[in-house]
Amino acid sequence: MKRVYMYSFHERAWHWMQAFVILVLLYTGLEIHLPNRLLMCFNLASRIHVAFGFIFVINAGLGLLYHIFTNQLRQFIPEPRDFFSASIRQAVFYLGGIFRGDPHPFEKSPDRKLNPLQKITYLAILNVLLPFQLVTGLILMSAHFWPSLIEYAGGLALLATLHTLAAWLFGAFVIMHVYLTTTGHTPLSSITAMITGWEDVEDGHRKN
């Protein structure tokens, strides 16, 4: 067991910022989807949704730049070598080893924060879901200035429906993500790390 400085200040700030923005977007999006049933009024919700949408875009862009320039992008890229077996090993751990108190199959380190399963998930979220949501959201927003753009993009009904579907998936991801943070060394160690930057990780393991 050792303490590792896992997340830099920038990473942590970015993460919490994005977490907050996503939660607000989910809530206000739900409010727009089902008006008059939640706390906020439609008018305010739609304004906040648009504003936070912009913040989300900017934040995502800044995050991307950060990862590119700090050369951290590779963290997200799965290693092709024994990728499948590694993923299966990780899945098997979640389905079995974790109950027996087995050590994690992959050691978490500042250079390798993500296990193979996480890599796939993040790859999907960051490369598919997030850009998709960004694009549909931006097109919907663009109607403020170029209402015809929506028609080219397939119509309001289609875009709004897809945007909604993606929002549900995002919601599911958030739940899953929060739960999986408890599968670290101790239930709270990952969350603590994302707050303070320091994480207790198991030491003396084999490396793969």
In the complex, the residues that contact other proteins under the rule CB under 8 A are 9-10, 13, 17, 32-36, 41-43, 46-48, 50-51, 54-55, 58-59, 62, 66, 94, 98-101, 143-147, 150, 155-157, 160-161, 164-165, 167-169, 171-172, 175-176, 179, 182-183
Q: For other proteins, which is the closer residue by CB, 131 or 155?
A: 155
Q: For other proteins, which is the closer residue by CB, 55 or 134?
A: 55
Q: For other proteins, which is the closer residue by CB, 29 or 116?
A: 29
Q: For other proteins, which is the closer residue by CB, 12 or 112?
A: 12
3-state DSSP assignment of residue 79: coil
> Least CB distance from residue 73 to other proteins, whole Å?
17
| Residue 199 host element (H or E) | strand 198-201
CB neighbourhood size of 16 (10 A) = 12
Q: For other proteins, which is the closer residue by CB, 112 or 183?
A: 183
Q: For other proteins, which is the closer residue by CB, 51 or 112?
A: 51
E strand residue ranges, 74-154: none
> Least CB distance from residue 13 to other proteins, whole Å?
5
139 neighbors 151 (Cβ within 8 angstroms): no
Q: What is the DSSP string of 140-186?
A: HHHTTT-HHHHHHTT-HHHHHHHHHHHHHHHHHHHHHHHHHGGGSSS
> Least CB distance from residue 36 to other proteins, whole Å?
5
> Least CB distance from residue 92 to other proteins, whole Å?
14
178-182-186 Cα angle (round to 5): 155
CA atoms within 13 A on the CB side of 36: 0
> Least CB distance from residue 202 to other proteins, whole Å?
15
Orientation angle between helical segments 9-33 and 189-196, nearest 10 degrees: 110
Query: C-alpha distances in angstroms, 16 versus 108, 122, 188?
Result: 20, 16, 16
> Least CB distance from residue 175 to other proteins, whole Å?
5
